[in-house]
Chain A
Amino acid sequence: MDIDVQLREVSMHYGATPVLHDVALDVYKGEFLSLLGPSGCGKTTTLNLIAGFLMPTRGTVSLGGRVVNDVPPYRRNTGMVFQSYALFPHMNVFHNVAFGLKIRRLNSREIARRVEQALTLVQLEGFSTRPIRELSGGQQQRVAIARALAIDPLVLLMDEPLSNLDAQLRRQMRVELRRLQRQVGITTIFVTHDQEEALTLSDRLVVMNGGRIEQVGTPVELYRKPRTPFVAQFLGHPNFLFGEVVERRGADTAVRVGRQVIWATSDDPLAVGSPVAVVLRAESATLHSPPPPPDRVNALPGTIDYTIYLGTTAEYEVRFADGGRLRVVEQIASGIPSYSDGDAVVVSWSPEDTIVLAGSRESMAGMVL
């Protein structure tokens, strides 16, 4: 597969403050790649390095197979969509979209054709003569995308483009962005701090933390097989239980947590006796009324401590006899929670849904919720 964007051992300092450490990343032609992480993780810095607004302190940035470290942003042919949209307020929709084409000195017929094409793509036909200030947030967003696409860039860079929209519009734009990107087939790098956005949009996503890449993979890979506690806690609503490995049978791993033994599946070489964290997503556990179902490997009896009711789901906090706690999310199609506070329940889950990560409670302090 062709690589459109490549970062090699890129480090970046603002003065003496390091913001990126040895970031290496290949972005394939036509893929939708998200950079996901909390604020200050280096995701926007990475985007600005690709756009050319920042220079790496060390390492190389390549676009289309060419090292572009010394190429200024206006010679890189990247299309950028900004969080604030950054539309030119003194120009109407047409002139905004035509800006990059005029700079490229295309003839006016070609400019008109390509502006029309770009506006059609974002479903804003007939908006050419509208001034920017008369557009809604969503429409401005579309103009910003059309403007970036009109120059036929090598790669589309998007810096939290949906975060200024209200929740409903954001979901709608998410779907549309995905459709648009598939239709045009343009390589897209999308910066966000919203895990839901990243999971729904991306072919692959890159989770960043503290200026480093934690893990790169498809949404399913990252959700099912997080390799670091940070990735595990950033995607989904996991429970962290700390214990030590007591037995291994191939991939099947037994971990003692308190007085309980939990079975998990893990390909990692984890020695018996080593400290581990068991990551169990609140969504992948199931609740039963006692007695425990005989066919489940992991089944722990406990009591419902309290319930958070969310309409289509209910989140229970289950307390065990040894003082341990677990959050469990139940899908309730009926809208009526199956359990109430004080009920005796059994929590069960399959070893395949259980993630084991090497490390003690102390080593993950400050990171785990």
Chain B
Amino acid sequence: MSRRRRQRLAVGGLLAPAVILLVLVFVLPSVDLFRLSLAWMDSQRSIHPDVSFSNYREFAVNPYFHRMVWGSLKLTVWVACLCLLLGYPATYYMVHIGSTTYRTILYAIVVSPLLISVIVRTYGWVVLLANNGVVNGTLLALGLVDRPIRMLGTFGSVIVATVHVLLPFMMLPIASALQGLDPALERAAQSLGATPLQTFWRVTLPLSMPGVLAGTSLVIALTLGIFITPLLVAGPLQPLFAIGIYYVTLSQLNFPLGAALSFILLVFTLAVIGLVGRLLGIINRNVV
């Protein structure tokens, strides 16, 4: 066997398990989903398997779905921006800290939301934000408000709870990008006259952009599809994409429409990530 042929076989062998798994659990169901999305359900709730685009038409004309897309988009912008603004400085601090012990503790805190069950974590927010919860109790006790402020069930509470769970997905890629930088780069910039702020803008930030891009993409993808957290914090009436799919599929039992919406969400997510990647790339080039 030729060397090249053997190499190709080795590459194939290494890739095969992942490819097979992806085909089984992603590609095949996606194809199936797409086929289902072309079926339609009549008012008697019986499903007709013939090909039609009625579900997609329904999505295009029904204002409920438009509100849902708009809600998810709004949530995504808020969450992505907050994760970036909160996550980047914290990550920068974490990476530059001298003590290893301290850094390990900080990493543990960062990933902690991922280690707790989504139910427990979200009920934590319920306990905090409820009308008789910890935050309102404190505000009342301090005399800052007369009546409890309604926080649970608001869009704001969805933002807070979502940022909490998705922050590590922003911070970990940024941390890995920052850790990969030669510390001499920042010193070099300073020896050339750049203040710490100039050093950050011209050297550190552009070089950590791959991490920012990866983190932002992850957070966007996860926010667009987030479901349990907003459901528990704000109930099933929040106009969000995934909650809409849940409602259509499991309450109305309209599987074809649910499939169509799922497919739209998938394409929509890819489009948003592609757009943001482009945008960050352009900003990055212009900064340098």
Q: How far is the CA of A59 from the CA of B77 in the complex (A)?
A: 53
Closest A residue to B206 by beta carbon equals A90
Stretch at the interface among A77-85, A119-127, A224-232, A284-292: A77-85
Residue of A nearest to B181 (CB): A89
- Chain B residues near A99 (CB-CB < 8 A): 189, 192, 194, 202
Contact of A90 among B187, B192, B195, B207 (CB under 8 A): B207
Does chain A have a CB within 8 A of B288? yes
* Pick from B184, B191, B193, B196: contact of A84, CB under 8 Å: B184
Indicate whether A95 reaches chain B with its CB closer than 8 angstroms: yes
Say whether, besides A84-B184, A86-B184, A91 and B192 are in contact (CB < 8 Å).
Answer: no
Measured CA separation A119–B185 after assembly (Å): 20
Chain A interface residue number, banded:
20 to 34
Query: What is the bound-complex CA distance between A54 and B60, given in angstroms?
Result: 63
Give Cα distance in the complex from A75 to B194, angstroms: 9
Nearest chain B residue, comparing its CB with the CB of A89:
B207
Q: Is B176 an interface residue (CB 8 A)?
A: no
Q: Is the CB of A100 within 8 A of B182?
A: no
In the bound complex, residues from chain B placing their C-beta under 8 Å from that of A72 are 190, 195
B192–A100 CB distance below 8 A: yes
Identify which of A73, A76, A95, A104 contacts B187 (C-beta below 8 A).
A73
**Is B20 an interface position by the 8 A CB rule?**
no
Total A-B pairs, Cβ < 8 A = 69
Q: How far is the CA of A87 from the CA of B189 in the complex (A)?
A: 9
Judge whether B276 is part of the interface by a CB distance below 8 angstroms: no
In the bound complex, what is the Cα–Cα distance between A88 and B288 (angstroms)?
A: 11
Residues of A within 8 A of B270 (CB): none
Taking a contact as CB atoms under 8 Å apart, the answer to whether B187 and A53 are in contact is yes
**For the complex, what is the distance from the CA of A158 to the CA of B198, rounded to whole Å?**
23
Point out the residues of chain A lying under 8 angstroms from B222, CB to CB: none
Are B191 and A51 neighbours in the complex by a CB distance under 8 Å? yes
The docked-state distance in angstroms from the alpha carbon of A95 to that of B203 is: 12
Residues of chain B within 8 A (CB-CB) of A80 are: 187-188, 191
Q: Is A103 an interface residue (CB 8 A)?
A: yes
Establish whether residues B203 and A151, one from each chain, have CB atoms under 8 Å apart when the complex forms: no
Which residue of A has the minimal Cβ distance to B198?
A: A103
What is the distance, in angstroms, from A285's C-beta to the closest C-beta of chain B? Answer: 44
Cα–Cα, bound, A346→B175 (Å): 67
Given contacts A53-B187, A95-B288, contact A86 B193 (CB under 8 A): no
Q: Mark B184-220, 1 if CB is under 8 A from A, else 0.
A: 1101111111111011001100110000000000000
- Chain B contact-residue range equals 20 to 34
B285 CB, nearest partner CB in chain A, Å: 9
A86 contacts B192, CB within 8 Å?
no
Q: Check if A114 is an interface residue, CB within 8 A of chain B.
A: no
- In the complex, chain B residues whose CB is within 8 Å of the CB of A256: none
Chain A residues with CB below 8 A from B195, complex form:
72, 74
Within 8 A of B (CB), among A211-264: none
Q: Given A82-B187, A88-B203, A90-B207 in contact, is the A103-B182 Cβ separation under 8 Å?
A: no
Q: What is the chain B residue whose CB lies nearest that of A51?
A: B191
**Looking at the complex, which one of B184, B185, B193 makes contact with A151 (CB distance below 8 Å)?**
B193
Q: Determine whether the beta carbon of B207 is less than 8 Å from that of A74.
A: no
Q: Which residues of A contact B191 (CB under 8 A)?
A: 51, 73-74, 76, 78-80, 148, 157
Q: B288 contacts which chain A residues (CB < 8 A)?
A: 90-91, 95
**Chain A residues within 8 Å of B190, by CB:** 52-53, 72-74
Cα A104 to Cα B199 with chains together (Å): 13
Please tell me if A327 contacts chain B, counting CB pairs below 8 Å: no
Q: Roughly how many angstroms separate A162 CA and B23 CA in the complex, as a whole number?
A: 52
Q: Among the listed A75, A86, A95, which residue makes an inter-chain contact with B188, where contact means beta carbons less than 8 Å apart? A: A86
- B182, chain A: closest CB distance, angstroms: 5
User: Which residue of A has the minimal Cβ distance to B199?
Assistant: A74
Asked if A74 and B206 make an inter-chain contact with CB atoms under 8 angstroms apart, the answer reads no
Residue of B nearest to A90 (CB): B206
- State whether the Cβ of A147 lies closer than 8 Å to any Cβ in chain B: yes
Contact B188 A151 (CB under 8 A): no
Closest CB of chain B to A51's CB: distance in Å? 6
The answer to whether B206 touches A86, judged by C-beta atoms less than 8 angstroms apart, is no
Complex Cα–Cα for A80 and B185 (A)? 11
B184 lies within 8 A of A82 (CB): yes
- B-contact bits for A65-76, CB 8 A (1 contact / 0 none): 000000011111
Chain A, residues 103-138, CB within 8 Å of chain B (1/0): the string is 110000000000000000000000000000000000
Known: A88-B203, A90-B288. A100 touches B184 (CB 8 A): no
Please tell me if the beta carbons of A74 and B193 are within 8 angstroms of each other in the complex.
yes
Within 8 A of A (CB), among B145-191: 182, 184-185, 187-191
Chain B residue with Cβ nearest A92: B288
A84 lies within 8 A of B182 (CB): yes
Which A138-173 residues have a C-beta within 8 angstroms of B? Answer: 147-148, 151, 157
Of all A-B residue pairs in the complex, the 6 with the closest CB atoms, nearest first, are A100-B192, A86-B184, A86-B188, A80-B191, A103-B193, A82-B184
A–B pairs, 29, beta carbons within 8 Å:
A53-B190, A72-B190, A73-B187, A74-B190, A74-B195, A74-B196, A74-B199, A75-B193, A77-B193, A79-B192, A83-B184, A84-B182, A86-B182, A86-B185, A88-B203, A88-B207, A90-B207, A90-B288, A95-B288, A99-B189, A99-B192, A99-B202, A100-B192, A103-B193, A103-B194, A147-B188, A148-B192, A151-B192, A157-B191
Q: Which residues of A come within 8 Å of B, CB atoms?
A: 51-53, 72-80, 82-84, 86-91, 95, 99-100, 103-104, 147-148, 151, 157
Other than A73-B191, A99-B194, A100-B192, give 10 A-B pairs with Cβ distance below 8 A: A73-B187, A74-B193, A78-B191, A79-B192, A80-B187, A82-B187, A86-B187, A90-B206, A103-B193, A151-B192
